């Protein structure tokens, strides 16, 4: 009888031990995911407020956790390129291409590296044209900054709000603002920008006013 009990206890002990290890591993994985989610929320917060310096600090923390994180590598490459740090940008780009060869922002990064530290000058030119009321010229200047890539974050809001004021840009601006609103999870800033844009035309005014309410 004792032999029979022992033979049953051994597999039971192994089962409980395995379950305990699995539980610890699952708890740790959830904690790591929660920490990463919080970092990504912080990145979004600073990017929406036009503070790439703060966002870059957080992306570095993400990279320490995951050296091949596509969002971190692409963002840091863009920040470096726009700051005129060509070698640093190319380093992040190489890592991104090696780990994620089909990443959608690779083309934008290469373009940003080509523009280099002219990024700030081009952006300043676009904003000056907006202030002068030359919206079509301003849009052309913005497009030199973005190229064929859709802008995001605070700068995306700036661009699409300007585009919405042109004669032919309303539909593109609407689509862009809807995308930004989705990307931000319906943040107050993007929701307000979209609502105002919709309120400018009779066909969408009711929806815009409803969003503003």
**Averaged over 184-208, what is the pLDDT?**
89
CA atoms 136, 141, 144, 147: torsion sign: negative
Give the domains, in start order, of the chain with CATH numbers: 51-116 (1.25.40), 118-212 (1.25.40)
In the structure, what pLDDT confidence band is assigned to residue 29 with cuts at 50, 70 and 90? very low
Amino acid 10: pLDDT: 60
Q: Specify whether the backbone of 147 is left (phi greater than 0), alpha (psi in -120 to 50) or beta.
A: left
Q: Outline where 49-69 has alpha helix (H).
A: 52-65
Comparing 27 with 119, which gets the higher pLDDT? 119
Give me the mean pLDDT over the 144-157 stretch: 82
Residue 93's Cβ-side half-sphere holds a number of Cα atoms within 13 Å equal to: 21
Least confident of 15-29, 62-76, 89-103, 136-150: 15-29
> Taking the CB of residue 113, how many other CB atoms lie within 10 A of it?
20
SS3 of 99-126: the string is HCCCCCCHHHHHHHHHHCCHHHHHHHHH
Average pLDDT over residues 35-62: 89
Q: How far is CA 178 from the centre of its chain?
A: 15
């Amino acid at each position: 009888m004792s032999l029979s009990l022992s033979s049953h206890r051994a597999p039971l002990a192994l089962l409980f031990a395995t379950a305990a290890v699995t539980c610890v591993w699952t708890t740790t994985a959830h904690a790591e995911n929660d920490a990463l989610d919080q970092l990504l929320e912080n990145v979004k917060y600073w990017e929406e407020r036009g503070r790439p310096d703060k966002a870059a600090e957080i992306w570095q923390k993400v990279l320490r956790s995951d050296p091949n994180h596509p969002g971190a590598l692409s963002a840091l490459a863009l920040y470096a390129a726009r700051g005129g740090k060509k070698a640093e940008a190319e380093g992040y780009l190489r890592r991104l291409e090696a780990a994620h060869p089909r990443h959608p922002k690779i083309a934008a990064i290469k373009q940003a590296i080509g523009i280099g530290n002219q990024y700030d000058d081009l952006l300043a030119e676009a904003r000056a044209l907006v202030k002068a009321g030359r919206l079509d010229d301003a849009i052309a200047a913005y497009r030199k900054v973005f190229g064929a890539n859709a802008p995001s974050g605070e700068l995306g809001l700036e661009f699409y709000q300007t585009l919405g004021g042109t004669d032919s840009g309303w539909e593109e601006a609407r689509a862009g603002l809807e995308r930004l609103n989705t990307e931000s999870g319906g943040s107050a800033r993007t929701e307000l920008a979209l609502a105002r844009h919709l309120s400018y035309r009779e066909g969408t005014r009711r929806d815009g006013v409803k969003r503003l309410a």
